[in-house]
Structure 1
Amino acid sequence: MKQVLLIDTPPLFREFLKEKLTSEKISVETLGGRRDAFAKTVSMLPDLIIIDISDTFDDLTEFCEKKRSDPNAYSIPIILTGPIPPREILTKLPAYQVIKYFNKPIKFDIFFDFIGQTLRIPLSIDTTPSIMEIHLNKNIIFIELAQGLNREKLSLLKYRLDEMIEANKLISPKIVLMISNLKLSFVDAVNLELLLSNVTFDPRIQRKNIKILSTDKFIGEFVEGHEEFRGIEVAGELSQVLRTLVNANPADNITDIISEDILRSTGDTKEGTVEMRFFSESGVFNSGNGVEKNQKLQIAIVDDDPITRKILESAFASLNSTIETFDSGARFLVAANQKVYDLVILDIFMPGISGFDILVKLQTKQYPSPIIVYSSAAQKTSVIQALSLGAKAYLVKPLKPEAIIQKALEVLNARI
């Protein structure tokens, strides 16, 4: 049986790795610090060492020097995870048998594939198409699921929620689980149970503070009939879900509450250590700004105003992207039937097919591309309507190009 030694990995990260590798019949040993790492390595002689770097590289160098001097331990490969290291550290790593350094946030499909190649054991990865997005507004965590339930992402969710709660010091976090686009049946019961178990895992998340947005009959019956999830509310409308979470009075205008308290980004979300938008889905790595240098984003700009199209086209050229512009909704829908874009920038008021019409059509076909509405319409009703139809952000014209790019990066990096 292959053996892996995990050193200094954060608790939930450690437990996730241990659970995954153990399920693949790989023996896993863990060590909470690097002080005894060399002694453990020599006594165990694992097939692979995985070390997480949280802050300093000083004791890592000391461990690696000792390992290099031991003829039995020298050839054991090492995988490191952590922040982007200084260049002087990177140049030393190959001499210590460090075969891969994974910057955080980590894309786990690539991570496990590399572990499997190193151990010469192919690791199973659930490839079910699934888009999971998580974002925070004040103390409400929104989790949006589309296309399907991927067990790898469902398992990662528990870890990501813990990170978000810790990083933002949430005392009483509230959860809105948005799965209105999923239609499930009894064959999905195991995965649905895994999803809800991971959402409720953290004791800081009370079941009364978990709301599910769904009109699916099976989901409602499943939650109602499951003792473990008693207290979780399933509702069909966002306003119904949010009214209880924001402690609104019956006389309050829920549209104003959504617009002012929920839709306004608080900027509190801290970057996590895991990436839940897998490389196998998009071919795009996260390298700080969400785009790998050798990967091009496919961006669609839909606006009937030629000046706006030109400004946006020039702005998005800085993202190493391939840009397609459309002067009408009809032309864009023809293109959208043939390809999926990484991002769509959409105007609302256009001759013929409006932006609202496009959002309805894309939502009906569960089109996976994230959409940012960029419109001169500033009414709250327009904002609410666009977001309820699946838009990820709503920007009011005119804005400086850098502000639009910043919002685009937030939306792209939020996809998990």
Structure 2
Amino acid sequence: MTQLSKQVLIIDATPMFREFLTEKLSEENIAVETARGHRDAVIKMTNNLPDLIVLDIADSIDDMQDFLEKKASNPNTVRIPMIISGPNIEKERAAALGRYGVAKYFTKPIKFDLFFESIGRILRAAFTMDITPCVLEIHLNKNIIFIEIAQGLNREKIALLKYKLSELMDKNRLDAPKVIVMLTDLSLSFVDGANLELLFDNILTDKRIDRKNVKVLSLDDFTREFISGHTEYFGVEVVTNLNTVLNSLVETGSETSVQDIISDQILSSTSSADDGSVEMRFYSDTGTADGEFDGSEEPEGKLDDDASGKPLSVAIVDDDAVVRQLLSLAFKTINAECEVFTSGTEFLQAAKTRKFSLIVLDIFMPGISGFDILKNLQQFGIKSPIIVYSQSAQRDLILQSLSLGAKTYIVKPQKPDFIIQKALEILNGKI
């Protein structure tokens, strides 16, 4: 006899959250029922007696207080465990929800892996999870969607991408968005073919995204050959430099430079693509649980002036022009003065005569490497705190950077707000 599957009742979830959650639970042979509003929720909860209730709160938990009271007063439903996702609330308020059978309260946007870990514990079910390291970020400027992927291709994040894109287009009323997929950090082979196919299938699922409006920025031969030889992706173009992408998608005047486009069109995002029910960044990426700062929040506070009353100064050492401008703009928003350096030699010459409040340093640069710079700074007796911001996630390189005096190591790419928050923590003595 076939064992009956577990059942989950999802209440008041956003379309993106509801569809994604239903797909993931169905893959694990878990039945799903959905309800809208507290009356519908009470009826389905009482009739079905699910094994778990997932309640998604849009504005205030007070809106569902009547449902919670009815659940607690019914002897058949009082013991049904619940997971709630909602706005930030006081810890005391979250703890008080235990009387209604709430096992976990997730502050939005929730981290997908932590969320399913909680579901698995309650249902005694082991969810299949891809743990491939992967940074996947979505940015929106006007009608251009930027999708950045680094480190690897994670199937869980790729599956979530489909719903995040639809949610983003719905929210911003985009009928024919242009899409730039940035894969410059990835070097792939035939073993990655299935994941690469899943990525582009999910990007092109929504009919509002036309293939001719999708550009892929990649230096990888396999990626270019895979896309150009795939009949389903006819019209998708792979290019090798940012200038080509911008010229094909962004309308500019003849006197507009690439750096102006980067500043106006890419760095100055007109809408946050990270709003919504679920994070694209997981707990396994950051090590911070729900409700804690994880890089997607706005940094609080600003950098104070030093003892002399002068603004704090930041040295940005990176051979990548885009990174230099991105970080410069970010630090200027918190009243810091930035000085950029395109090489280690140039920076070390300046460091002999100038004192910096903070140094943001890339490891891989032509000529003098970041490791050599760190060694020289030690020899010079320079005590300025250092953030290493580099593309490698290799453990030995991270440990070497920290052993040479870096305060922290951040893997590219990250949002500017995340870098700023780390700078605040370092300068305020938290790291």
TM-score (normalizing by structure 2): 0.69
- SS of alignment partner, residue 216 of structure 2: strand
Letter in 2 for 1:138: K
In the alignment, which of 78, 84, 94 is matched to residue 80 of structure 1?
84
In the alignment, which of 184, 187, 193 is matched to residue 189 of structure 1?
193
Preserved CA contact (<8 Å) 1:41 1:73? yes
Structure 1 residue 309, shift from structure 2 partner: 12
C-alpha deviations, 1:327-361, integer Å up to 9, x for none?
999xxxxxxxxxxxxxxx99524126998974536
In the alignment, which of 91, 116, 120 is matched to residue 116 of structure 1?
120
C-alpha deviations, 1:296-315, integer Å up to 9, x for none?
xxxxxxxxxx99999479xx
Which structure 1 segments of 5+ residues have no match?
Answer: 293-305, 314-325, 330-344, 370-389, 395-401, 410-416
* Equivalent in the alignment of 1:376: none
Aligned pairs (5 A) from 1:273-288: 273-285=277-289, 287=291
2 CA distance for matches of 1:243 and 1:36? 52
Letter in 2 for 1:351: L
* Equivalent in the alignment of 2:348: 351
Preserved CA contact (<8 Å) 1:285 1:291? no
* Equivalent in the alignment of 2:26: 22
Preserved CA contact (<8 Å) 1:243 1:254? no
* Equivalent in the alignment of 1:106: 110
* Equivalent in the alignment of 1:231: 235
The alignment-based identity, stated in percent, is 46
Letter in 1 for 2:65: T
The alignment status of 1:33 with 2:37, answered yes or no, reads yes
C-alpha deviations, 1:46-81, integer Å up to 9, x for none?
110001111243441111111122211110001111
- Summarize the Cα distance change of 1:213–1:37 in structure 2 as closer, same or farther, 3 Å threshold: same
Which structure 2 segments of 5+ residues have no match?
Answer: 297-306, 319-337, 352-359, 371-387, 395-411, 425-431
The alignment status of 1:145 with 2:149, answered yes or no, reads yes
Preserved CA contact (<8 Å) 2:10 2:54? yes
- Summarize the Cα distance change of 1:38–1:272 in structure 2 as closer, same or farther, 3 Å threshold: closer
* Equivalent in the alignment of 2:392: 367
The CA RMSD measured in Å over matched residues stands at 3.9
1 CA distance for matches of 2:309 and 2:251? 40
2 CA distance for matches of 1:118 and 1:204? 38
- SS of alignment partner, residue 38 of structure 2: coil
- Summarize the Cα distance change of 1:149–1:391 in structure 2 as closer, same or farther, 3 Å threshold: closer
- SS of alignment partner, residue 209 of structure 2: coil
- Summarize the Cα distance change of 1:208–1:248 in structure 2 as closer, same or farther, 3 Å threshold: farther
TM-score (normalizing by structure 1): 0.71
In the alignment, which of 229, 234, 255 is matched to residue 258 of structure 2?
255
In the alignment, which of 261, 265, 272 is matched to residue 268 of structure 2?
265
1 CA distance for matches of 2:244 and 2:317? 35
In the alignment, which of 133, 153, 161 is matched to residue 129 of structure 1?
133
C-alpha deviations, 1:277-326, integer Å up to 9, x for none?
2112221246475369xxxxxxxxxxxxx99999479xxxxxxxxxxxx9
* Equivalent in the alignment of 2:211: 207
Between Structure 1 and Structure 2, how many residues are aligned? 342
* Equivalent in the alignment of 1:382: none
Q: Which moved more, 1:153-162 or 1:27-36?
A: 27-36
Letter in 1 for 2:242: L
2 CA distance for matches of 1:136 and 1:35? 37
Preserved CA contact (<8 Å) 1:173 1:205? yes
Structure 1 residue 157, shift from structure 2 partner: 0.9
- SS of alignment partner, residue 274 of structure 1: coil
